[in-house]
Amino acid sequence: MKIAVLGTGMVGQALAGRLSELGHDVVVGTRDPEATLGRTEPDGMGNPPFSAWHQQHPAIGLAPFADAAAAGELVVNATGGTTTLSVLEQAGADNLAGKVLIDISNPLDFSNGFPPTLFVKDTDSLGEQVQRAFPEVRVVKTLNTLNANLMVRPKDLGAESTVFVSGDDATAKATVTELLQSFGHTDVIDLGDISTARGTEMLLPVWLRLMGALETPFFNFKIVR
Ligand code: NAP
């Protein structure tokens, strides 16, 4: 499948790399490809620049958000929560219309430092904001509750764990569930319509405290029932 991954951070790299390895035709979306490839310094978290990753993945294209979205039959949103709506505007409603959009973003507000707070919660979610802003897009919220590397290689944990899907379109959720299974996910819980993204987005304060207590991001939720 032709897949556009919007976002050049660690989530975008993890998704794009794994999807390409699984045989998909992948293009990564960014604001300005030349500027993105021109960055040579590690990011704020000490991760190598996108250009270093891209050199090791020459088959993966890099294009402005709009061109990437136009090329993808399915689109992944792997951008920060505070910029998600503006990135999707740049991607273009026409380029997204009718497509499945996997939304991995979290509504984290780092403006007062760490730990971040949620800028939308309880009565709304970022997933719903995206679905409302782009009514012709088939939004599926998923993978926002685990670390980027585990999103695409859950078996690295050495034990079964759980991921969630939320969305209004049953066919879109089935497509996404198949992709999740191709990554190695064996327990995918369909929580219901896109409003259930409130639940998974509000898991982030728990996830962040777990990371602090366990001193590692390599863990995941497992729902025993
Ligand atoms: P990120 O640093 O949050 O986002 C990177 C992307 O955001 C880049 O493509 C960048 O564009 C774009 N961007 C930054 N500022 C922008 C602006 N002002 N206008 C337009 N675009 C802008 O990436 P990430 O750490 O990979 O996280 C992606 C999302 O996944 C986040 O919502 C995060 O909460 C969620 N998530 C992350 C993890 C994890 O393990 N990191 C786990 C679960 C969920 P350029 O390419 O042009 O620089």
Q: Domain locations in the chain?
A: 2-214
Q: What is the pLDDT of residue 181?
A: 98
Q: Residue 159 is encoded by which pair of tokens?
A: 């034990």
Q: What is the pLDDT of residue 45?
A: 83
The alpha carbon of 57 and the centre of ligand 1 are apart by a number of angstroms equal to 19
- Report the nearest atom of ligand 1 relative to the CA of 90: 20
Q: How far apart (Å, rounded) are the C-alpha atoms in residues 167 and 213?
A: 32
Q: What is the pLDDT of residue 46?
A: 87
Q: How far apart (Å, rounded) are the C-alpha atoms in residues 111 and 99?
A: 33
The protein residue with its alpha carbon nearest to ligand 1, atom 9, reads: 7
Q: Which of 121, 128, 185, 126 has its CA nearest to residue 159?
A: 185
Residue ranges for the chain with pLDDT beneath 70: none
The pLDDT tens digits of the residues spanning 76-94 come to: 999 999 999 999 999 999 9
The alpha carbon of 191 and the centre of ligand 1 are apart by a number of angstroms equal to 25
Side-chain-side CA neighbours of 184 within 13 Å: the count stands at 16
Q: What is the pLDDT of residue 7?
A: 98
CATH of span 2-214: 3.40.50.720
The protein residue with its alpha carbon nearest to ligand 1, atom 12, reads: 79
- What residues does 167 pair with on adjacent strands? 140
- Report the nearest atom of ligand 1 relative to the CA of 217: 40
Which DSSP letter does residue 140 get? E
The pLDDT tens digits of the residues spanning 147-171 come to: 999 999 999 999 999 999 999 999 9
Q: What is the pLDDT of residue 44?
A: 82
Task: List residues near ligand 1 (CB under 6 A).
Answer: 7-12, 30-31, 36, 78-81, 83, 86-87, 104-106, 108, 144, 147-148
User: Could you tell which of 13, 45, 79 is best to mutate to test the pocket of ligand 1, judged by most ligand atoms within 8 Å of the CB?
Assistant: 79
The alpha carbon of 190 and the centre of ligand 1 are apart by a number of angstroms equal to 25
